[in-house]
Amino acid sequence: MFQHQARPVARAQASRTAGSALPADESPSTDILDSWARCVDAGLDAHAAPRLPVVAGGELRRRREQADYVRRLALAELETLFHQIAGSNFLLAFADSEGVILDLYADNRFAMSSSGETIRAGSQWTEQVAGTNGLGTALAAGKSVAVNGPEHFFARYDAISCTAAPIRDAGGAIVGVLDASSYFESRQRHTQALVQMASAHIENLLLVHQMEAAIVLAIHPRPEFLGTISAGLLAFDAGGRLCACNGRARTLLTGLPARRGAAFEQIFAEPYGRFLARLEGGADICLRDVLGSSLVTSWVNRGPALSGTRPVAAAPAPAAVAAPNFVADDPALRSVLELVAATVKLGSPLLIQGETGSGKELLARHAHELSGRKGPFVAINCGALPRELFEAELFGYVGGAFTGARREGYQGLIASADGGTLLLDEVRELPLPLQSALLRFLDDQTVRPVGGQKARRVNVQLVAASNADLDGEVARQRFRADLLYRLNTVRVDLPPLRRRRDFAACVRFALAAIDAQASISDAAVSWLKGYAWPGNFRELRSVLTRALLSQPTRRIDLAQLPALLAAPRGAGADASALRQGATEAVLREFERSGRSVSRTSRNLGVSRTTVYRHLREGNVLPPPG
């Protein structure tokens, strides 16, 4: 590209006045070079005075009426920008797709300058007539641009810096452009970001307005961004065909056919109808694209496309499916709960993987509650049963089947869970011969007691749990691959405590379970978050219990925690996760307290010396000496 444009660009540069050359460290960007080349090709003379067309009053009114809705949105954004950059000798403008300025705001200094005289409502600023400039170049390039001082093609505008961003409708067509201009010497680096944000906000509102008859969804990897301009927007018709999407959605779905007419199933790994049924629960839900990436989505506009329809098999909202005995405010866990709810309704085997103490049995009990089964919940710790009694404990035995057997026999744990849920915890501990027997049971749902001839048919919801890598166990020939395939019909992974986004809620929930009247400070919670928690909730409950026993006021503060919780093994004292968490907590309180050491010390309940030490470790203060 550069060789193609080098000659016309050289001609453009040669026509500039000697005094307007750009500094050596501010070489023009590719966007500016491309624009200069277009200006030269259009026959513009950089040394001449530009002749800008100005539409008559009647034509200006017609253009404003034609752009009515997007213009109203733009005016609201210009009002916001006016307050954001006020005091910097600026001009704000909204122009239509042909570069005609429909509205502008300018402070008096800029409006009365020689540079601002020609910038007025009705003037046209396309590259073909105004040369390289923010508004015209944004339209020509179809993207946000910044043109600073001497980067303008015409020397007349060397004193101005301007940044502009086009506005696209739901179909991707440019329907307007926002521009912010100021004096070159008073330009602000954040202005372009503000203009881009304003343009994105308009585009999102415009898409929702134009797609009011469609189903509009917001998507983002993180749920807290669903209601912001960082969210991608997708509009689908009632048949699941993509009608429109914004630029952010195209970025989030890079590599996928996010184009008009694409089927929902071409983009996401789920049938459209089932997705809508889940979404009817009214909460943010997890959605995976066909490449395996996880997103969170929520309604933006339901549209009349669903009017009169009633979704089937809708999964309950997270608040509804969350059992009352554990916290479920983490997005990853909410996704797990939704998948568990769908699995038990089908009666499919469920495999729960997670670290020790992460709540696998709690989730299994919750699955039992969701299933609606009337039978009991039976949990078996496969690592706690004697190996020689595994088969008899699981499948039962007839009287006298072996030495020590009860005369009346024993129905077995599987049969005792008939009509309910059977949890096989630490399933990797099953001996290989018994794995084969379990596989047979999964195939025909019948059990034959040890020493017996008659098989009994049972109906259980099977849940297996493990903190081990079962794929690795298969590779080491310690676990049957065919059994793993059967258990792994649906697999969920419980996030460890250290990765839970609802960590603070988990701490307070666990504390309330120990003592409903106890409390813990925010600083203490922040400090605890810095620990690795290899024992997860079991370890957390132990630490909180010890903290309460040492605190007669029933309030846990930061000062008492270091003595109760040892640093993680293998971590040095200065580099430990605990110390890092404590330092972060002190730094946050230091800023919140107006950078006052005494108030930080008082609020956290620690000595001033401790505060100073953490401020030094956080590089807020220089080291002593």
Does 254 score more than 50 pLDDT? yes
Using pLDDT thresholds of 50, 70 and 90, give the confidence band for residue 357.
confident
Instruction: Please give the helix or strand (H or E) that residue 9 lies within, else none.
Output: helix 2-14
Does 186 score more than 60 pLDDT? no
pLDDT of residue 69: 86
Share above pLDDT 90 across residues of the chain, in percent, rounded to a whole number: 17
User: Mean pLDDT score of the chain, rounded to an integer?
Assistant: 79
Among 112-126, 209-223, 425-439, 559-573, the range of highest mean pLDDT? 209-223
Using pLDDT thresholds of 50, 70 and 90, give the confidence band for residue 212.
confident
Using pLDDT thresholds of 50, 70 and 90, give the confidence band for residue 76.
confident
Alpha-carbon distance 70 to 72, whole Å? Answer: 5
What does 160-182 look like in DSSP terms, one character per residue? EEEEEEEEE-TTS-EEEEEEEEE
Average pLDDT on 534-541 reads 85
pLDDT of residue 163: 92
Q: Which residues contact 181 (CB under 8 A, 6 or more apart)?
A: 90, 91, 92, 93, 110, 119, 134, 160, 161, 162, 163
- Among the residue ranges 63-72, 413-422, 465-474, 613-622, the one predicted with the least confidence is 613-622
Residue type, 549: L
Does 243 score more than 70 pLDDT? yes
Average pLDDT on 325-343 reads 81
Nearest-5° Cα angle at 176, 172 to 181: 130
- Among the residue ranges 227-231, 246-250, 603-607, the one predicted with the least confidence is 603-607
Encoded tokens for 21: 């050359």
Alpha-carbon distance 400 to 192, whole Å? Answer: 85
| b/e burial code for range 330-362 (CB count within 10 A of at least 16 → b) | bbbbbbbbbbbbbbbeeeebbbbbbbebbbbbe
Does 477 score more than 70 pLDDT? yes
Q: pLDDT for 582-593, tens place per residue? A: 677 778 777 777
Specify the residue for token string 């501990």. 429
Instruction: Between 604 and 486, name the one with better pLDDT.
Output: 486
Encoded tokens for 197: 């944000």
pLDDT of residue 26: 52
CA distances from residue 625 to 575, 595, 616, 621 in whole angstroms, order as listed? 22, 22, 12, 12
Average pLDDT on 472-481 reads 87
Q: In terms of DSSP bridges, do strands 174-183 and 90-95 run parallel, antiparallel, or are they unpaired?
A: antiparallel
Alpha-carbon 87 to chain mean position: 36
Specify the residue for token string 């259980």. 460
Q: pLDDT for 391-406, tens place per residue? A: 777 888 887 666 555 6
- Among the residue ranges 239-243, 364-368, 565-569, the one predicted with the least confidence is 565-569
Encoded tokens for 37: 């080349």
pLDDT of residue 241: 92
**Residue 48 DSSP class:** S
Instruction: Between 46 and 303, name the one with better pLDDT.
Output: 46
Q: What share of the chain is helix, strand, coil (3-state, %, to 5)?
A: 45, 15, 40
Q: pLDDT for 300-323, tens place per residue? A: 877 654 443 333 333 333 333 334
Using pLDDT thresholds of 50, 70 and 90, give the confidence band for residue 558.
confident
By CB neighbour count within 10 A (0-12 exposed, 13-18 middle, 19+ buried), where does 72 fall? exposed
Predicted TM-score (pTM) of the model is: 0.48
Average pLDDT on 197-214 reads 88
How many CA within 13 A on the CB side of residue 305? 19
- Among the residue ranges 235-244, 275-284, 300-309, 329-338, the one predicted with the least confidence is 300-309
What does 430-490 look like in DSSP terms, one character per residue? S-HHHHHHHHHHHHH-EE--BT----EE---EEEEEESS-HHHHHHTTSS-HHHHHHHTTE
Does 459 score more than 70 pLDDT? yes
Average pLDDT on 345-363 reads 87
Alpha-carbon 248 to chain mean position: 13
pLDDT of residue 79: 76
Average pLDDT on 326-334 reads 81
How many CA within 13 A on the CB side of residue 47? 9
**Number of neighbouring beta carbons within 10 Å of residue 563:** 10
pLDDT of residue 63: 94
Average pLDDT on 448-466 reads 85
Average pLDDT on 543-551 reads 83
Alpha-carbon distance 324 to 378, whole Å? Answer: 20
Using pLDDT thresholds of 50, 70 and 90, give the confidence band for residue 574.
very low
Cα dihedral 583, 584, 589, 591 sign: positive
**Residue 285 DSSP class:** E
Q: Which residues contact 539 (CB under 8 A, 6 or more apart)?
A: 357, 533
pLDDT of residue 403: 58
By CB neighbour count within 10 A (0-12 exposed, 13-18 middle, 19+ buried), where does 99 fall? buried
Does 348 score more than 70 pLDDT? yes
pLDDT of residue 324: 36
pLDDT of residue 145: 93
- Among residues 143, 153, 190, the alpha carbon closest in space to that of 39 is found at 153
pLDDT of residue 219: 92
Which long-range CB contacts under 8 A does 183-192 form with residues at least 24 apart? 183/89, 183/110, 183/113, 183/115, 183/159, 184/148, 184/149, 184/158, 184/159, 184/160, 186/88, 186/89, 187/148, 187/161, 188/85, 188/88, 191/85, 191/146, 191/163, 192/144, 192/146, 192/163, 192/165
Q: pLDDT for 152-167, tens place per residue? A: 898 888 888 889 999 9
HEC-encoded secondary structure of 509-560: HHHHHHCCCCEECHHHHHHHHCCCCCCHHHHHHHHHHHHHHCCCCCEECHHH
Axis-axis angle for helices 134-141, 30-41 (nearest 10): 90
Instruction: Between 558 and 520, name the one with better pLDDT.
Output: 520
Average pLDDT on 199-224 reads 88
Does 42 score more than 70 pLDDT? yes
